[in-house]
C-alpha cells in the first residue's frame, strides 16, 4: 500500500468538510470529483483497502486478497453476503465495485425508465441521455475488439435461435491499445495515470494486474484527488448524527472506526453535507441501524423495493479439453434473447478455479428433495464427467458462467432482525428464483452446443436461493416519503444536504449491468449542486 494515499486520522480532527462521502464506488467517486471541482472540501470514507495492480491476487485461490471476511482477517475486494432469499456478490476497496466488476457498460432499454417508483418524476430516458454519454467517456468505454472461445459458442447459439442480429460484443471500461504496451494517459490529456494495453487474460474480476481496466481509482478518484478530495481507507462509518438533532441544517457528526484493525479506535468527523454511497449492502444496512436513534425522519420506505435484476448464474463446463475459455475479457459478448431478457458470457482467468468447490450440478424442481434427487441422478449418469470438473485443475479453462438478466420485477425488503443484523423478506410478486424458465432453456441449449455440464452455486440447488452481483434499491426515488426515500435529485426526504447516490437509489429493474446507470444518475445529481460560493 502506498502511504501517500492514506489520510492520517490525526489531521482530520479539527476539520469540517463540506461533504463526507461514505463509500468510493461509482456513486461516491462521481460525487467526489464533481464536488471537488466545484470548490467543496470533500472526504471519502472507504472501509476497504487501497489496491495497486500488483496487489491483486493472481487467482481466486488467494482468498485473503480476493474475499472480504474481516473475521478471518481476509481483506480482499469481493464480499459474499447470504440472505434467506438471495446471495449477493459485492465489491470492497477504494474504487468499490469497479475493482471486481466485469467492466460491462450497457444502457438499459426503454422499459426501465417507465416502471418503478421513479417513473412519473421525469422523462428519464431523455433526461439521462447526456449523462450516459458523459459517464461512457469518463469510464473509457469502448467496444470489445476481440472474441474468444465462449463468445463464439454464444454466437452459435444466436444463430441457432435466429437471433444473429441480437448478438453483440460488449461495451467495456478497458484500455485495449497495443497488448501489454504502456502509454501515457490516453483519456484525460495527461492528467490521468499511464495505461497498459489489455492482455486478454480473463482476470478482470479478481482484479486487473496489468493496468488495463479502467477502475475508478484511475479516473474519477484520481482526478478528484487532484482537486483536493481526500480519501480515508480502512475506516467504517457506524453513525451519522445531525448537529441540530433535527434536520441537519447546521451539519452532521460522522462516527468512524477501523474496519481492518482488531482494536478499533473511534473518531468523530464533521461535515456540512453527507452522501451515502456504500452500495445497497453498505448504505441500507447503515441507515437501517441508525434510523431510530439518529435519523428518525428517514422514510419508512427505507429497505423496500430491493431488486436482484432478476438474475441467474449458471456455469457450463466443457468436456473438450482442447478449448480454453479463460482467454478474453471477463464479459466479452451478450445476446438479447427477447425484449425483457439477455445473457452474457462470463469468464475467469486460468488458475482461478475456487468457484468449483461451491458448485453442484444444476438441477431444477419445486423443492430441495426433488432437486437433490435429480442431482444424485446426474452424478450416476455421468460420474466421469463430474469427477473431471471437480478434480481436474482446469475449471476456469473449461468453464463459462452464463449471466442471465431480465427487466421483469421481483421485489424484496431488507429489514433489521432481532439479532441486530439484516434479513430479507418478500414484499410483492414472486420471490427471486434461480430457476427462471427462459434461463433454464438458454443454459440447456448452450450446454448442448458446447458439449458441457451445467453446475451452479450450491445454495441454488440446496435452498433455491439465487445469486446476484447486482443488488439494487432500498432507498428509491419517490414523490414523497410514502413513495420513496429520496427525491428525483437524490436528496433524502427529511434532511438537509443529505443524499443517497449508489445502487440503492435505482428505482426500477434495469435488466442489464447497472454500473453505467449508477454513474449517469450520479452525474445528474451532481449537476444540480451549485458551485461553492
- Provide CB contacts within 8 A for 269, sequence distance 6+: 12, 15, 17, 20, 43, 45, 253, 254, 255, 256
- At 248-259, the pLDDT tens digits run 899 999 999 999
Are 499 and 486 contacting, i.e. CB atoms less than 8 angstroms apart?
yes
pLDDT at 90 over 90: yes
Are 484 and 478 contacting, i.e. CB atoms less than 8 angstroms apart?
yes
Are 141 and 171 contacting, i.e. CB atoms less than 8 angstroms apart?
yes
Confidence (pLDDT) at 5: 38
What grid cell was written down for 273? 453535507
Query: Rounded to whole angstroms, how far apart are CA atoms 246 and 515?
Result: 34
Q: What are the b/e assignments for 45-76, b being 16+ CB within 10 Å?
A: bbbbbbbeeebbbbbbebeebbbbeeeeebbb
Q: What is the mean pLDDT of residues 450-468?
A: 91
For 272, list phi and psi in degrees, rounded to 5: -80, -25
Are 259 and 235 contacting, i.e. CB atoms less than 8 angstroms apart?
yes
Are 247 and 495 contacting, i.e. CB atoms less than 8 angstroms apart?
yes
Query: Rounded to whole angstroms, how far apart are CA atoms 372 and 357?
Result: 17
Among 56, 17, 33, 19, which Cα is nearest to 222's? Answer: 33
Confidence (pLDDT) at 361: 93
- At 320-377, the pLDDT tens digits run 777 899 999 999 999 999 888 899 999 999 999 999 999 999 999 888 999 999 999 9
> For the whole model, what pTM was predicted?
0.95
DSSP bridge pairs for 486: 477, 492
Cα 533 to its chain centre, rounded Å, is 35
Classify residue 73 as left (phi > 0), alpha (psi -120 to 50) or beta. Answer: left
For 434, list phi and psi in degrees, rounded to 5: -80, 0
Query: Rounded to whole angstroms, how far apart are CA atoms 13 and 5?
Result: 18
From 222, 336, 342, 470, active-site residue: 470
Confidence (pLDDT) at 14: 62
CATH architecture of 3-527: 3-Layer(bba) Sandwich (3.50)
Give the model's confidence band at 461: pLDDT under 50 very low, under 70 low, under 90 confident, else very high.
confident
Instruction: Respond yes or no: is residue 222 known to be catalytic.
Output: no
What grid cell was written down for 144? 470489445
Q: What is the mean pLDDT of residues 190-201?
A: 97
Confidence (pLDDT) at 4: 36
Give the model's confidence band at 1: pLDDT under 50 very low, under 70 low, under 90 confident, else very high.
very low
Amino acid at each position: 500500500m502506498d502511504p501517500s494515499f492514506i489520510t492520517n486520522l490525526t489531521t482530520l480532527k479539527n476539520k469540517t468538510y463540506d461533504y463526507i462521502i461514505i463509500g468510493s464506488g461509482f456513486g461516491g467517486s462521481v460525487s467526489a470529483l464533481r464536488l471537488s471541482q466545484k470548490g467543496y472540501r470533500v472526504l471519502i470514507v472507504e472501509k476497504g483497502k487501497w489496491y495497486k495492480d500488483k496487489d491483486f491476487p493472481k487467482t481466486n485461490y488467494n482468498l485473503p486478497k480476493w474475499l472480504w471476511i474481516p473475521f478471518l482477517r481476509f481483506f480482499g475486494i469481493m464480499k459474499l453476503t447470504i440472505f434467506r432469499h438471495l446471495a449477493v456478490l459485492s465489491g470492497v476497496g477504494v474504487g468499490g465495485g469497479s475493482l471486481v466488476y466485469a467492466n460491462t457498460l450497457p444502457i438499459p432499454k426503454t422499459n426501465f425508465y417507465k416502471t418503478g417508483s421513479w417513473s412519473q418524476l421525469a422523462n428519464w430516458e431523455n433526461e439521462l441521455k447526456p449523462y450516459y454519454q458523459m459517464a461512457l467517456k469518463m469510464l473509457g468505454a469502448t467496444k470489445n475488439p476481440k472474441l474468444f472461445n465462449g463468445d463464439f459458442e454464444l454466437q452459435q447459439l444466436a444463430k441457432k435461435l435466429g437471433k444473429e442480429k441480437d448478438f453483440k460484443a460488449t461495451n467495456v471500461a478497458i484500455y485495449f491499445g497495443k497488448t501489454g504496451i504502456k502509454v501515457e494517459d490516453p483519456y484525460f490529456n495527461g492528467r490521468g495515470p499511464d495505461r497498459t494495453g489489455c492482455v486478454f487474460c480473463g482476470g478482470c474480476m479478481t482484479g486487473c494486474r496489468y493496468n488495463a481496466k479502467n477502475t475508478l481509482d484511475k479516473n474519477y478518484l484520481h482526478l478528484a484527488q487532484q482537486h483536493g478530495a481526500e480519501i480515508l481507507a480502512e475506516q467504517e462509518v457506524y453513525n451519522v448524527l445531525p448537529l441540530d438533532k433535527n434536520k441537519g441544517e447546521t451539519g452532521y457528526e460522522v462516527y468512524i472506526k477501523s474496519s481492518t484493525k482488531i482494536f478499533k479506535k473511534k473518531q468523530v468527523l464533521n461535515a456540512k453535507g453527507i452522501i451515502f454511497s456504500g452500495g445497497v449492502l453498505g448504505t441500507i444496512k447503515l441507515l437501517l441501524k441508525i434510523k431510530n436513534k439518529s435519523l428518525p425522519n428517514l422514510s419508512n420506505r427505507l429497505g423496500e423495493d430491493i431488486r436482484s435484476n432478476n438474475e441467474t448464474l449458471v456455469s457450463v463446463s466443457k468436456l473438450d479439453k482442447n478449448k480454453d475459455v479463460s482467454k478474453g475479457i471477463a464479459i466479452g459478448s451478450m445476446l438479447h434473447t427477447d425484449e425483457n431478457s439477455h445473457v452474457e458470457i462470463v469468464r475467469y482467468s486460468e488458475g482461478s478455479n475456487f468457484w468449483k468447490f461451491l458448485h453442484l450440478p444444476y438441477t431444477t424442481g419445486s423443492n430441495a428433495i426433488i432437486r437433490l434427487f435429480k442431482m444424485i441422478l446426474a452424478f450416476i449418469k455421468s460420474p466421469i464427467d463430474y469427477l473431471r470438473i471437480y478434480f481436474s485443475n482446469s475449471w476456469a479453462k473449461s468453464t463459462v458462467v452464463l449471466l442471465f438478466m431480465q427487466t421483469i420485477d421481483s421485489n424484496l425488503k431488507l429489514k433489521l432482525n432481532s439479532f441486530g443484523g439484516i434479513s430479507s423478506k418478500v414484499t410483492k410478486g414472486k420471490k427471486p428464483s434461480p430457476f427462471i424458465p427462459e434461463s433454464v432453456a438458454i443454459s440447456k441449449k448452450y450446454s448442448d452446443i458446447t458439449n458441457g455440464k451445467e453446475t451452479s452455486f450450491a445454495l441454488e440447488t440446496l435452498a433455491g436461493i439465487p445469486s446476484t452481483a447486482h443488488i439494487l434499491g432500498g432507498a428509491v426515488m419517490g414523490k414523497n416519503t410514502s413513495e420513496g426515500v429520496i427525491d428525483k435529485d437524490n436528496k433524502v426526504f427529511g434532511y438537509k444536504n443529505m443524499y443517497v447516490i449508489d445502487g440503492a437509489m435505482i428505482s426500477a429493474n434495469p435488466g442489464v449491468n447497472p454500473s453505467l446507470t449508477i454513474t449517469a444518475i450520479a452525474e445528474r445529481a451532481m449537476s444540480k449542486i451549485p458551485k461553492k460560493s
